[in-house]
Amino acid sequence: MNGKKRGGVRRLAPLAVVAGLLIAFFATGSHEHVSYEALRRNHADLRDFVAANFPAAVAVYILAYAFLTGISFPAASLFTLLGGFLFGWFLGAAFTVVAATAGATAVFLVAKTSFGEALWERVKPYAGRMEQGFREDEFSYLLFLRLLPAFPFWVVNLVPAFLGVRTRMYVVTTFIGIVPGTAVYAVIGDGLGEVLAEDGEFSIADAVSTEIVVGLAGLAAISLAPVVVKKIRARRGGDAAP
């Protein structure tokens, strides 16, 4: 009996850690610093810090971004812009992809523990609509969902765990799939210096052009090509059968 209790405590450990981090994050007001206004006030100090403490700045950025991804913080996209602003578009995108993949993978692994039972209730309404896609070709479908956010990012982080997607498959498709969108935001962030220097206004909606959206949608459509080819071949095979 005591062994079962100890096992239950160990399984609840991830929940306690996540809950503690969430409470600390919001109780200390840290969430208020993730905003464009905060970046406008502190952009010069941030760049000075990065210049003087590059390795530490990279470590802090990656850990913070992974944490925000893990708790599905809605302003994580602003952090992607920050990465481009602080490190340049190439390094900013690279650090962000690593951090976002790590954070998403942590959520995926937590969902596979007993804590996942509570998470399942949150994503169950989405699972039915996504199950068929994963059954047909989990690599192509997950890549599609990463390239084109047809569902909220946190949902795509969780549902694959409940539908039996392998961890390696999840990590690879997440890493590859978020590269294009991350690169777009990092490039925009790289150009924020002039806007901040002039104390100008900024809107992500205005910065992301129609061409960019169409381009990302095109990549997402290409990722589903193997599924389409498989269906065509199956249909031809069925028609050819006597």
State pLDDT tens for residues 125-169: 788 778 877 877 788 888 888 887 777 788 888 888 888 889 999
Q: If you average pLDDT over residues 40-44, what whole number do you get?
A: 79
Q: If you average pLDDT over residues 156-185, what whole number do you get?
A: 88
For residue range 188-230, list pLDDT tens digits in order: 888 887 777 676 666 555 555 555 555 556 656 665 555 554 5
pLDDT value of position 218:
60
Lowest average pLDDT, out of 47-61, 82-96, 168-182, 211-225, goes to: 211-225
Most confident residue range from 37-41, 176-180, 221-225 = 176-180
Q: Is the pLDDT score of 240 beyond 50?
A: no
Share of the chain above pLDDT 90, in %: 15
Share of the chain above pLDDT 70, in %: 64
Confidence of residue 122 (pLDDT cuts 50, 70, 90): confident
Confidence of residue 104 (pLDDT cuts 50, 70, 90): very high
53 compared with 196, residue with greater pLDDT: 53
Q: Is the pLDDT score of 87 beyond 80?
A: yes
Alpha-carbon distance 156 to 128, whole Å?
Answer: 13
Tell me the domain boundaries of the chain: 2-24+31-240
